[in-house]
Structure 1
């Protein structure tokens, strides 16, 4: 995952950034600008950590040299990750979805095919200000490979709108992510990060439109997931506005290691009301 925000460090959570980056083939925006939305500053989250996250913390402690009583110091991997369970319900099989802007398909990243365009987007100053992944391709490649070669708790995808690559997405298990240390995570909480790559798609409500469609898809494909979360930088007002327009509610401000974030939540139970 990218860093908790504008800067990206391994092991932290990146901001969900709706800044757009320069991209060849940017299309004329096909939807009207989004209107504003209200925000709810209250939350009623359960104050406990999921068993899966506790197991992951135990694994990390063992890796750092701590031992369990009666062992030789070699940790047993958490059972969840040892079973080969798909942690995100086969994102690659979700298929295209219809949106007011066209047909959107989240296609898992392939380094050899997608590194060039993702690198170009990440090196746009407007994007770099929040993602912090600007620089040589090998640094961006390392970020992508860390997810592609991991246990499946995060899946980086290219967003294809009517067959044209125009956005970068990360779908991830928020309850198994370092983000869960900073809010009352529930089992199967799922997070989303979005980067709109085409400069022509900026400022016309496209981010909110695509977010709403993708989150509906996530809730359809992940029946165990009760809510979708995101944590944009509180200063990134276009991003926060896009989440509000996509049916998210503002929950609370969270101090993450490299930013102050707005924790945004979209509840399954409120799906047809917001």
Structure 2
């Protein structure tokens, strides 16, 4: 599996994203009843925010996952934990498999995403806040080095706040099967922590 990243285009990628986020497996993404126009509007808002950015992950040139990176200081997380310099938030949605599940695929995707994020200078810790009921993602997060910090109340959900520092990620990835991902390279630098908008 070889992964690369490209900036998401809200207009041209909306139909593809819609075909992912409206399936039952993506229930925790919160867009099951969204229209293509709703998806385009939401991602246009994200891409123009200055503190939240969406990327498509490619597997051999084929769109395979959606990744969002954001600055927690400009998100609802700022009200529930003390944001530190070097913190970056992340969301991940893997596309539905076209030929049936492939063992280890989602872990390999998560590894590529974390590798990309930690390759950005100044990133010290990745923050995630999946729905507290989403036990599948909690298990994957822990497998890749995330440490749960407890359930927090956010405007749209009860979330399990978890953190992954570089050393925990590097230790966790030694337990993953060998993979052939491309080196993680940032396609666009994140907004520095504390930058004014």
Aligned pairs for 1:122-271 within 5 A: 122-127=21-26, 129-134=27-32, 135-151=34-50, 153-199=51-97, 200=99, 202=101, 204-221=103-120, 223-271=121-169
- Select the structure that is richer in strand: 2
Equivalent position of 1:93 in the other structure: none
1:217 is displaced (CA, Å) by 2.0
Q: Does 1:119 align with 2:34?
A: no
1:255 is displaced (CA, Å) by 1.7
- RMSD of equivalent CA atoms: 1.8
How many residues align? The count is 170
Distance 2:160 2:100 in 1: 23
Q: Pick closer, same or farther for the CA change 1:201–1:144 going to 2, 3 Å.
A: farther
Q: Are the counterparts in 1 of residues 146 and 169 from structure 2 also a CA contact under 8 Å?
A: no
Distance 1:218 1:230 in 2: 13
SS of match in other structure, 2:45: helix
1:125 is displaced (CA, Å) by 2.0
Equivalent position of 1:106 in the other structure: 5
Q: Pick closer, same or farther for the CA change 1:201–1:171 going to 2, 3 Å.
A: farther
5+ long unaligned stretches in structure 1: 1-101
Flag the structure with larger Rg: 1
Aligned pairs for 1:15-30 within 5 A: none
Using structure 1 for the length normalisation, give the TM-score. Answer: 0.58
Q: Are the counterparts in 1 of residues 148 and 162 from structure 2 also a CA contact under 8 Å?
A: yes
Higher relative contact order, chain-length normalized (CA < 8 Å, sep 6+): 1
Q: Are the counterparts in 2 of residues 208 and 242 from structure 1 also a CA contact under 8 Å?
A: yes
5+ long unaligned stretches in structure 2: 173-197
SS of match in other structure, 1:273: helix
Which deviates the most, 258-267 or 203-212?
Answer: 203-212
Q: Are the counterparts in 1 of residues 10 and 41 from structure 2 also a CA contact under 8 Å?
A: no
Q: Which runs of 4+ in 1 moved over 6 A?
A: none
Q: Are the counterparts in 2 of residues 228 and 266 from structure 1 also a CA contact under 8 Å?
A: yes
SS of match in other structure, 1:272: helix
